[in-house]
Amino acid sequence: MSVILFISLIDFILSSLAWVYYSHAFSFLRSAPFIVLYVLLMLNTVASRVLPASLPLPLLKLSAWLSGYWIAFLYYSLLLMVLHGIVYSVLRILSFKLPFTQFAAAGAVFLVIFIAWGSWRAFSPVVRTENVVSAKLPTEARYKIVLVSDIHLGRELGYEYSKGLVQLINAQQPDLVLVPDWTDLNFVELLRGAKVPVYVYKTPYTVADVKKTIREVAFIVGEAERGEQVIKNFDDKIEAVQKKVSGIAGNTNRSVIAITGKGAFGAKGSIYDDMCKYARIKNCLQDLKTDDSTTISKEIIIKENPDVIIVPSWDAPGILKVQSMKEILNDESLQTVTAVKNKKVHQVPGRCLYCVSPYVADSIEILAKAVYPEVFK
């Protein structure tokens, strides 16, 4: 219910701003028929998320399509309004007058073209091929694996789009198709119906889950022994990290909170929380009753008072990295937090916080180095 209310609020605000902007440029938009149509489109954004599945499929798809395009138009219209304001201010300083209607019309046409291009891209999936060469595999070993990820079918796309994707995957003649367990089950059944070798893997939420997936994939491709060797190397690295952190002075695990752009994250049940246990780190959020992706407010950060704050880096330019850490260190509301007072705000690659691959062992080591740097010198 809270999600629906949030969507309703955002929809109302953006719809209101867009109507004020466009109706100021085009007087015909202030007519009663258009206002009724506008309100119906606004209401449909919420309706498309609560309509019962028992309704006719064409109606559900139409509602979903209208909602998707409406949201896209509103968000890009907001950017257009910001750009319009900036250009207007600059030209006013230079004593130039910007024609409001012409700018709004050009912007609206551009948005329509841009959204149409985005739709075409969505219906034209791209196959990217990566050749992975490993000295750990015999030279005669050849595997063609298709990894299916981030396919958001929903009501908008449906059966025909799924069928096209299956044909595209089949054309690659894969030895194996890897599909995460949150993928639409109808799509998985289409793959299997096309006689494509499919393995639906469980999304790892623990280090043990990662090892289980490695073992299962290795068995499927006929490399069970090599899979066990990968797991052994994996375990050896984790054990080496644990030996280093086992002699920490005071025998007390340091408390840590990871902060993303949306706030603290990593509650109990996340892969990050499990990695913390292996690195002998106390995840301050482990006892909170939230799901694994819930972000936490500053008030919780202050209350938990962590010894160290972790900030993810996404290989952005250096200036962004410095700014993100500076923002935390200079945040007036966080000055009483131990990590901020002692300047224990450290950055780690973002992939470490979400890692669900064999590299989770490396992620555990990177986290441990950030929290206990003195034992890794």
338-362: pLDDT as tens digits? 999 999 988 888 778 878 888 889 9
Residue 267's CB is within 10 A of a number of other CB atoms, namely 22
- Cβ–Cβ under 8 Å, residues 27 and 105: no
Question: What is the model's pLDDT at position 260?
Answer: 74
* Domain 231-376 annotated CATH 2.40.40.20: no
The string of pLDDT tens digits covering residues 87-114 is 988 888 888 887 888 898 999 899 999 9
Question: What is the model's pLDDT at position 319?
Answer: 42
Question: What is the model's pLDDT at position 79?
Answer: 92
Query: What are the tokens at 2?
Result: 């809270």
Query: What are the tokens at 373?
Result: 């740097």
Q: Regarding beta strands 145-147 and 255-260, do their DSSP bridges make them parallel or antiparallel, or are they unpaired?
A: unpaired
Residue 54's CB is within 10 A of a number of other CB atoms, namely 6
Question: What is the model's pLDDT at position 264?
Answer: 66
- Cβ–Cβ under 8 Å, residues 156 and 65: yes
- Cβ–Cβ under 8 Å, residues 310 and 285: no
176: CB partners within 8 A, 6+ apart: 143, 144, 145, 146, 197, 198, 199, 217, 220, 221
CA distance 131 to 137: 13
> Nearest 10 degrees: CA dihedral of 156, 161, 166, 169?
-100
User: Rounded to whole angstroms, what are the CA distances from 90 to 24, 81, 110, 330, 368?
Assistant: 21, 14, 21, 31, 50
CB-based burial of residue 57 (10 Å sphere; 0-12 exposed, 13-18 middle, 19+ buried)?
exposed
pLDDT at 134 over 80: no
pLDDT at 157 over 90: no
Question: What is the model's pLDDT at position 78?
Answer: 92
Question: What is the band of 74 on the pLDDT scale with cuts at 50, 70, 90?
Answer: very high
| Ranges of each domain in the chain | 2-122, 145-201, 231-376
Question: What is the band of 48 on the pLDDT scale with cuts at 50, 70, 90?
Answer: confident
pLDDT at 233 over 60: yes
Question: What is the band of 364 on the pLDDT scale with cuts at 50, 70, 90?
Answer: very high
Query: What are the tokens at 323?
Result: 């700014």
Question: What is the model's pLDDT at position 45?
Answer: 85
Question: What is the model's pLDDT at position 320?
Answer: 44
CA distance 131 to 141: 13
Question: What is the model's pLDDT at position 317?
Answer: 45
Percent of the chain with pLDDT over 70: 88
**Phi, psi at 101, each rounded to 5°:** -60, -45
Tell me which of 222 and 264 has the higher pLDDT: 222
Query: What are the tokens at 281?
Result: 């780190």
Question: What is the model's pLDDT at position 348?
Answer: 86
Across all residues in the chain, what is the average pLDDT? 82
232: CB partners within 8 A, 6+ apart: none
CA distance 363 to 237: 10
CA distance 364 to 237: 9
User: Rounded to whole angstroms, what are the CA distances from 200 to 180, 183, 362?
Assistant: 6, 9, 25
H helices of the chain, in order, are 2-25, 32-50, 57-93, 100-122, 154-171, 185-193, 207-220, 224-245, 271-278, 298-304, 318-329, 338-341, 350-354, 360-371
CA distance 345 to 25: 49
**Phi, psi at 265, each rounded to 5°:** -145, 175
The string of pLDDT tens digits covering residues 176-217 is 888 888 887 778 888 888 777 888 888 888 999 999 999 988
C-alpha count within 13 angstroms, C-beta hemisphere, residue 296: 24
Question: What is the band of 363 on the pLDDT scale with cuts at 50, 70, 90?
Answer: very high
The string of pLDDT tens digits covering residues 297-340 is 788 888 889 999 988 876 544 444 544 778 888 888 889 999 99
User: Which pTM does this prediction carry?
Assistant: 0.67
